[in-house]
């Protein structure tokens, strides 16, 4: 996200924020795996999944805003 803020063009900024959004998706996958193998409790996994979904929505809003703004 920070690297995207340093980009001069809006297209580049949106691209880096899109990378960050993809990383959040990767994180959710790892949370699911950690929960399935018993490494992460259900309560913690639920909280982290909820937070990561919120982050993903925020990034989507930022990306849409910069592309259409």
Region label for 38, one of left (φ > 0), alpha (ψ between -120 and 50) or beta (otherwise):
left
The per-residue pLDDT for range 14-29, each reduced to its tens digit, is 998 999 999 999 999 9
| pLDDT over threshold 90, residue 41 | yes
Rounded mean pLDDT, 44-67:
95
Q: Which domain, by its residues, includes 32?
A: 2-68
Query: Cα dist. 3→35, 62, 65 in Å?
Result: 31, 14, 18
Q: What is the domain count for the chain?
A: 1
Average pLDDT of the chain is 92
Q: What is the pLDDT of residue 69?
A: 64
């Amino acid at each position: 996200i920070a690297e995207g803020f340093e980009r001069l063009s809006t297209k580049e900024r949106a691209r880096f924020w899109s990378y960050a959004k993809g990383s959040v998706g990767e994180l959710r996958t790892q949370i699911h795996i950690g929960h399935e193998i018993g490494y992460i409790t259900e309560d913690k996994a639920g909280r982290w999944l909820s937070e990561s979904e919120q982050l993903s929505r925020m990034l989507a809003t930022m990306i849409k805003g910069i592309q259409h703004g």
